[in-house]
Structure 1
């Protein structure tokens, strides 16, 4: 009896400690990669084995924290924001600068995706030059801190700072991991395009702050600005977020950055960094400017349809495998924005789900390209072919994620694109037909690229001695395959969670605020 009582007391103590940890879980999640980056600075640059393993351990611990947070959230998914932490600075009762962090269904899935992608980026950059291993790992952890903080921040000014803080680590990662002199040009293109968008957004943020004395999202949403004011501020927020989507014509930096970055840089860029733009749309621009969203909806739709067709045609003529995957991302991302601007629950859920599905398939395809480049040292399609004869495991992985990219049924991309197309059909049949043209071309260039790489006779002299995927490379694909199967076969739970949080996104604008041509177009 004494032993039983002791065990019960010990269990109650552990349960209490677990509950205390859960209350600070978000703070631990945000601080863990930052502390890991600082601790890596104290390790000698020659201790490459220690740097690699400790960085991998840090990213895995962060993933475990995010999984624990997800488990806690699904038990009480009706609460708008959970794990809210923050601080504020006040001066004379007028200036109130606050920085709050919280998770809901919109940010929770992005936190999970971010924490799942970073261990893969550590693994795929395992054999980098020993001279850059330490700074590369430190930059990875700093970038993870910035992205996690941005995805959980619910303050407009704080999101602006964190949104821009992710730019410097990515700039350095492209310069460190790239293998050609053009990597400097690609890194500066990323900086210039993003900074131009930021310079347009900064005046809007400052004006909102001066008018309200705060940049809290809840306070700004409650302001209910006039339609004229919203139309002016629409472009400040829209252009800044459009660069990171990316939308045509501010997409030219993306193919260059993907081609010149290392495999880890491309995985992070496609899997996480590009999600900041659409997240900014959903978290801030739609709730703050609902009337302007409806007013400029037809214009955004037109540009998205043009971008889907243009990006699909451009992808068909690519001769570089990595640039082909990069341009396919542009087409899918514009289809995503098209679904979001339908202003419906199904469009919101489908667009958000497509963002998550793209975060699985696109990094996996870049991992495939990286595996080929490590062996052939080229990404040109004319030098590739016949991989099935010497790399059967790689060919199966490439085949599976090619099916995901072309939205085959039972894949997450199919669920997402079908949902988005249904939302488009509810608004405009002509837009649906144009969107289907882009979807069909997506299947065409994906099948063409797969056939050029896998089928046929080996076209490169080194193909005869190419080795298949090793254990480390195989482990990179396992979580992506598992997520793709889970989200493709069981999407209902995710869609239900996303739809349940659509209440803070839906527009409350009155029909009388809209001109007649907008009502006729939609």
Structure 2
């Protein structure tokens, strides 16, 4: 009965039910039922996450839907879950995109179909845990568990010959970075005797200890975003991953680092955040400018979007470490927006790859003549990617720029360079793929998007448009949590 009284517990348990049922009761040969059942489980999970949104009270900064279970009482370790305004929408984003990933993969896996859908259900379970667990040790466990299904998705169902190398590169880069964070967690437990976040928020660390712990957490979280110079694994992982793998990697996994900064670095180590601010600003500006310039010289469509993600994540870290209410609000909105827009862009590229078996830019031209519906969606998401007014990214970047204006005009001016560069590569890509003369030398047969692809792109575009024209529906749930966080920073 406790489970049914708390929708958070329901969305945690549904993927596990799906995993158990797939393993025990569904045959590998029954591929149609595998897909239908997986879609049903992820759809129910998404619907219950919307129930969380409806029931979530926007008038308090306290955690809601809290449940606590003893894990190792002798060692003072408890498993605690709960939601605040920051984590609520990351859970909704995760369940929404996993559901779409099942639809995206409807015709994709030709082998190990059961294992493929099991990987996505396990990934959904781990992501929900990451965003709702309130203990830094359990956060680390699920933070690292996410690597396992993603490693399998890239390494087994990747699209090209370098998929094994890309999978190991992704796994090792992120795992090694997280070892530093594990060392910090062990040190915190030795120092305070607990890893419960709700207790640690009301404890003070000495200044030198804060600096050391912040650096250790930084390595673990910066690799996940990824920040320059920890970004090497990202373009290769995207290039080799299947379409659904790229969607969930860009849509949710890149947000784990930003969420970790908000959840742990800012409230636990406020002095260190102020101390290291100049370094973060420098790395973020390098990421924005370097990411944009590198995007302009790519020839692989997936790598173009991958490098543009590095640039957008630079804006996210600028907003987080501006330590202003507007900046942090903007960083959360931009992370949600990027999760939707980058997912849509990778899906659009996946559509082209499914039809023409190539992602090399020079082969595409004039698709508006033969794929007009595809080009309409591609144009919308390209403009959303450059933060066109009326789209979700515009709200996120605007709030970040307002936050930067409150602390440094020079920082604001330099970050605007990234806005101009992002417009350059997005318009260049859109023009190169959609317009001009049709390249009949390489392709003879053309097909516009199917009904299934239309539904997926419509869901993503509607959400992007909704967040762009009515951000208040999101910000009202987030505001109190951010105000509480900023107050804690400057107490």
What does residue 278 of structure 1 align with?
258
- What is the Cα deviation at residue 77 of structure 1? 4.2
Q: Structure 2, unaligned stretches of length 5 or more?
A: none
**In structure 2, how many angstroms separate the alpha carbons of the residues matched to 1:127 and 1:461?**
28
* Deviation per residue, 1:155-174 (Å, 9 max, x gap): 11010001000001000000
Give the one of 488, 492, 498 matched to 2:468. Answer: 488
The answer to whether the 8 A contact 1:98-1:214 is kept is no
- Residue number among 222, 227, 231 corresponding to 2:211 in the alignment: 231
Residue pair 1:344, 1:506 contacting (<8 A) in 2 also: yes
1:40 aligns with 2:56: no
Q: 1:269 maps to which residue?
A: 249
Q: Distance in 1 between matches of 2:314 and 2:4?
A: 38
* Structure 1 consecutive aligned stretches of length 4 or more whose deviation exceeds 3 Å: 89-92, 460-464, 507-511
- Find the residue that maps to 2:81 and give its secondary structure: strand
Alpha-carbon distance change, 90 to 58 in structure 1, aligned in 2, over 3 angstroms: closer
Pairwise CA distance, 1:496: 2.9
Does residue 1:244 correspond to 2:224, yes or no? yes
Aligned match of 1:52 in 27, 35, 39?
35
Q: Which residue of 1 aligns with 2:432?
A: 452
Q: CA, structure 1 residues 145+436, in 2 after alignment: closer, same or farther (shift >3 Å)?
A: same
SS of the aligned residue for 1:110 comes to helix
C-alpha deviations, 1:198-243, integer Å up to 9, x for none? 1111111001111222100121122211111101111100110001
The structure 2 residue matched to 1:82, chosen from 64, 67, 78, is 64
Quick one: distance in 1 between partners of 2:8 and 2:66? Answer: 8
Partner of 2:283: 303
Contact 1:384 1:460 in 2 (8 A): no
Contact 2:85–2:479 (CA under 8 A) maintained in structure 1: no
1:11 corresponds to which residue?
A: none
Instruction: Identify which range, 435-444 or 500-509, moves more after superposition.
Output: 500-509
Q: In the TM superposition, what is the alpha-carbon distance from 1:89 to its structure 2 partner?
A: 3.3
CA distance in 1, matches of 2:480, 2:259: 17
C-alpha contact 2:120 2:149 (8 A) present in aligned 1: yes
Residues 174-183 or 284-293, more deviating: 174-183
Selected match of 2:236 from 256, 276, 294? 256
Deviates more, 1:475-484 or 1:54-63: 475-484
Tell me which of 101, 112, 122 is aligned to 1:142. 122
Alignment of 1:63 with 2:42, yes or no, is: no
The answer for the alignment partner of 2:102 in structure 1 is 122
SS in 1 for 2:82: strand
Deviations 1:89-126 (A, max 9, x none): 3455xx20111111111111011111110111111111
3-state SS of the aligned residue for 2:153? helix
Corresponding residue of 1:101 = 81
1:350 to 321, 327, 330: 330
| Offset of residue 462 of structure 1 | 5.7
Matches within 5 A, 1:303-382: 303-382=283-362
**Which residue in 1 is equivalent to 2:376?**
396
Report the equivalent of 1:27.
Answer: 9
Does the aligned pair in 2 maintain the 1:346–1:499 contact within 8 Å?
A: no
Give 2:111's match in structure 1, choosing from 131, 137, 148: 131
Local SS of the residue matching 2:56: helix
2:453 matches 1:473: yes
How many residues of Structure 1 are paired with residues of Structure 2 in the alignment?
490
Residue deviations 1:301-350 (CA, integer Å, cap 9, x gap): 11111121111110111111110000000000011101111101111101
RMSD of aligned residue pairs (Cα, Å): 1.5
How high is the TM-score relative to the length of structure 1?
0.91
Q: Which moved more, 1:300-309 or 1:51-60?
A: 300-309
Shift of 1:376: 1.0
State the Cα deviation string for residues 244-293 of structure 1 (Å, max 9, x = none): 11100000101000000000000000111111111111111111100100
Q: Does 1:185 align with 2:165?
A: yes
> Deviation at 1:509?
5.9
Inter-CA distance 510–462: structure 2 relative to 1 (3 Å threshold): closer
Distance 2:73 2:12 in 1: 27
Q: Secondary structure at the match of 1:385?
A: coil
How much does 1:129 deviate? 3.6
In structure 2, the partner of 1:6 is none
Partner-residue secondary structure (3-state), 1:126: coil
Structure 1: segments with no counterpart, 5+ residues: 1-16, 512-522
- SS of residue paired to 2:486: coil
Partners in 2 of 1:456 and 1:54 — Cα distance? 44
Distance (whole Å) between structure 2 residues aligned to residue 152 and residue 460 of structure 1: 51
**CA 1:77 to 1:483, structure 2 compared with 1: closer, same or farther past 3 Å?**
farther
Give deviations 1:356-410, integer Å, cap 9, x for gaps: 0101100000010000001111111100111111111100000110010011001
3-state SS of paired residue (1:501): helix
- Residue 80 of structure 1 aligns to a residue whose secondary structure is coil
